Structure 1
Amino acid sequence: MATEVKRFAAIQDQFNTYIGDIVYATMTTVDRMGRPRARVLIPVWEIVDGQPVGWLATYKTPVKAAHLANNPHTTFSYWTARQNAVAIDTVAKWVDDLETKRHVWHLYRQTSPQGAGYDLGQFWQGPADPKLHVLHLAPWRVQVIRGTDLHSQIWQPNNVR
């Protein structure tokens, strides 16, 4: 059974703990025919004005770019064998300005609040590297599930309810 929470703060600690423990998320997009496609990535999350905001440093592959151009809705799923899970439904948008890329570079380097980041220098030369692309992830639904009793809590921003 799921419980709805009005403020993200009610699930923030669990969110941070689970993501920090699990690290890798399965990102799912859909193609123009509605077929899902999953890939495993490491987004980072921060809290802005009491709400989660996600960032994904990634390569802008033709498949990913086409899917998001057709439908910007994505889901990020985290799961551990202890049955702890986080599902984050988002709207993704490519962001290309250097200031944002620097911010995201720093978030990954400081390992994000959850401890799930890494050094982006392993893949890109720096924030200005033209091969580095960033997705802004705006969650419209977040669900955390505690594995010990499968208790589920769901948060949605006020404008989605």
Structure 2
Amino acid sequence: MQPLDQVAPAFRDMAHQIVWASVATVDRDGRPRSRILHPYWEWDGTDLIGWIATVPTPVKRAHIEAHPEVSVSYWTPSHDTCSAECAVQWHLDDDTCRAVWDKFATAPAPVGYDPLIIPMWSDGPTSDQFAVLRLAPHRLRVMAGTVMTAGEGHPLVWTAS
């Protein structure tokens, strides 16, 4: 297992190159559901925090209320993979929604984009169709595809103590 300051930047860099992730939640009956979402990750040298701009659907709300955890998984055709197991929290307040909207709007491509391209968000970050999920990882894994395809190197893994 490696320290967070070695794994978090590698995770963020790979995640931001891949951009789209499968994010799984779990319902009240323990059944998982996956969806494709677009997280934005911030590493400040101490903490890694993920942000997801999303529509606060009844299904997502119910799942996160029942089990406030998500699994986030990225993959490329060359088999580069990274994953994060995270505690998750809704942020519906206008200040956080505006701040996260701005993170996506000002980040460089490919992770950055104009949130106004989403038709449901045409009213901006204070729309009732726009909400933010905050991700706090407790486990990270980063693996270059060459680890699997050529036996070169090893995965990077960090788990909170």
TM-score (norm 1): 0.87
CA contact (8 A) 1:42 1:117 kept: no
Instruction: Return closer, same or farther for 1:53/1:13 CA change in 2, 3 Å cut-off.
Output: closer
For 1:149, what is the secondary structure of its paired residue?
A: helix
Q: Give the unaligned 5+ runs of structure 1.
A: none
Q: Are 2:122 and 1:116 aligned? A: no
1:117-136 C-alpha deviation (Å, 9 max, x unpaired): 32111121222122111111
Aligned equivalents of 1:48 and 1:101: distance in 2? 20
Tell me which of 6, 12, 16 is aligned to 1:16. 12
1:5 is aligned to 2
Letter paired with 2:147: D
- Structure number with the higher helix fraction is 2
Aligned equivalents of 1:71 and 1:141: distance in 2? 17
1:64-84 C-alpha deviation (Å, 9 max, x unpaired): 111111001100000011111
Alignment of 1:135-150 (within 5 A): 135-150=133-148
Q: Equivalent pairs: percent with the same residue? A: 36
Greater mean deviation of Cα atoms: 50-59 or 122-131: 122-131
Alignment of 1:73-112 (within 5 A): 73-111=69-107
Q: Are 2:40 and 1:44 aligned? A: yes
TM-score (norm 2): 0.87
For 1:104, what is the secondary structure of its paired residue?
A: helix
How many pairs are equivalent? 153
1:153 is aligned to 156
Which 4+ runs in 1 deviate beyond 6 A?
none
Tell me which of 46, 58, 61 is aligned to 1:62. 58
Q: Are 2:75 and 1:72 aligned? A: no
Let me know the Cα RMSD of the aligned residues: 1.7
Aligned equivalents of 2:35 and 2:112: distance in 1? 17
Deviation at 1:53, TM superposition (A): 0.2
For 2:29, what is the secondary structure of its paired residue?
A: coil
Query: Comparing both chains, which one has the higher relative contact order based on Cα–Cα distances under 8 Å and sequence gaps of 6 or more?
Result: 1
Q: Are 2:131 and 1:126 aligned? A: no
- Structure number with the higher strand fraction is 1
